[in-house]
Structure 1
Amino acid sequence: MSSSAPASALAPVPLVMQLIVDGASSTSFGWPKGPWMAQSAHAAIAAIQTSLDSAATREYVSSANLESMHKVTLQTPAEGKAKMTLPQLSEKLTAARAEWEKTRGPASEDADEFPRHFLWIEQPENVPTCLAIAPNRKPAALKKLLRPCTLLKE
């Protein structure tokens, strides 16, 4: 018996990492782009390291997927009603992960796993520069929290 669903409907949602910078800080410190890129790399590696027990992370860094890694760079809103700092976003993500763990357990292999994250704070300046979210398939709860963030285009 053949399925009437297209093959693309059966494929899993691709894994992605979100790298998020503070919409206000990225311009207010006057740092060149190079240091901001380095901060993002630090945060991404830290998010990978802290989530190595996740099936999604292991799949993302597997040899078969090294040439197809996908990342999205976002920024928090710098003004208006949705204004949010990286530490505020980190608190929301931490609470959402804790809620997910209550229902699933920390070692669950669930496809809708709420991902861990890492907030990189540059020292000695003590400036939160980038929040990296571990590889994930964009679960609904994460999409909702990231809705105010916009694509970083510059």
Structure 2
Amino acid sequence: MAAALVQYVVLRGDLVRPPHSWPLGAVVAQGCHAALAAVHGYREHPDTGAYLEQGDAMTTVVLEAPDENSLLGLAQLLREKGLEHKMWVEKPEGIPTGLALRPYPKGLVQPHLSDFKLLK
């Protein structure tokens, strides 16, 4: 049986709280942008194709980074581990808002995300 494929999206939780106070929908949109950019950027990878072919059975997990520094630290860790992802930066402000990994077998990436909890 093939390993379960999952796409992880990590969003900054601090953006919905003061002093930022972004609307929840704006932060969700950032996650959508990151997820789509990651899928598009890695569309030739076999795992991405297999993930998309799952249709209604695709699994996406949305996690929360407490702040910008933790998000940037995660991006650095992912680069060091060779895990492909896309950081989404809101333009024109240049604010890193979230990142999405390309679809991966769950067991391959989950250990690197254990410090992050589900977005609430």
After TM superposition, the score normalised by the length of structure 1 is 0.70
The answer as to 2:14 corresponding to 1:24 is yes
The answer as to 2:64 corresponding to 1:75 is yes
Q: Which has the larger radius of gyration?
A: 1
Give the structure with the higher percent helix: 2
Give the structure with the higher percent strand: 2
The answer as to 2:83 corresponding to 1:93 is no
Q: List runs of 5+ in structure 2 lacking aligned partners.
A: none
After TM superposition, the score normalised by the length of structure 2 is 0.88
**Aligned with residue 4 of structure 2, among 10, 14, 18:** 14
Q: Residues 94-142 of structure 1, C-alpha deviation per residue, up to 9 Å, x if partnerless?
A: 1101xxxxxxxxxxxxxxxxx41000000112111111011111244x2
Which 4+ runs in 1 deviate beyond 4 A? Answer: none
What SS does the aligned partner of 1:131 have? Answer: strand
What SS does the aligned partner of 2:13 have? Answer: coil
Superposition RMSD on alpha carbons, in Å? Answer: 1.9
What SS does the aligned partner of 1:143 have? Answer: helix
